[in-house]
Amino acid sequence: EVQLVESGGGLVQPGRSLKLSCVASGFTFSNYGMNWIRQAPGKGLEWVAYISSGSSYIYYAETVKGRFTISRDNAKNTLYLQMTSLRSEDTALYYCARGWPYYVMDAWGQGASVTVSS
């Protein structure tokens, strides 16, 4: 069974950093591109970042470019999202999702909640 499990969320002050993880199981992680998508409370979906299977191609939404870094460790079947200079508008539920091709996201995690507040 394909599974994606996010962790690392929490309450953080504005300007601080947080790192999310997404552990994959049930498929060959190194064969798939991966995405981070977020959903602010009561709002729609916002794509955040994509990383290709071998990390050669990386793309970000303009709203997070320069502050967030997506990465992966294929040996550990783990996707990461390093978030710095956090703002209140980054408050959201963050999902990781498998994408092949990138926009066809056929497996999603349960989400990690990030709240940015003083």
The residues of the shown chain that bind other proteins, judged by CB under 8 A, are: 35, 37, 44-47, 50, 59-62, 95, 97, 101-106, 108-111
SS3 for 110? coil
Q: Tell me how far, at minimum, the Cβ of 7 lies from other proteins, in Å.
A: 15
The least CB distance from residue 47 to other proteins, in Å, is: 4
Peptide bond into 14 cis (omega under 30): no
In angstroms, what is the minimal distance from the CB of 111 to other proteins? 6
Q: Residue 63 and residue 38: Cα distance in Å, rounded? A: 12
| Pick 59 or 115: Cβ nearer other proteins | 59
Q: Are 4 and 73 in contact (CB under 8 A)?
A: no
Q: How far is the CB of 16 from other proteins (least distance, A)?
A: 25
Nearer to other proteins, 13 or 41 (CB): 41
The values of phi and psi at residue 29, to 5°, are -55, -40
Distance CA 97, CA 103 (A): 10
Q: Which one, 66 or 75, has the nearer CB to other proteins?
A: 66
Q: Tell me whether residue 24 or residue 37 sits nearer to other proteins (CB atom).
A: 37
Q: Are 83 and 67 in contact (CB under 8 A)?
A: yes
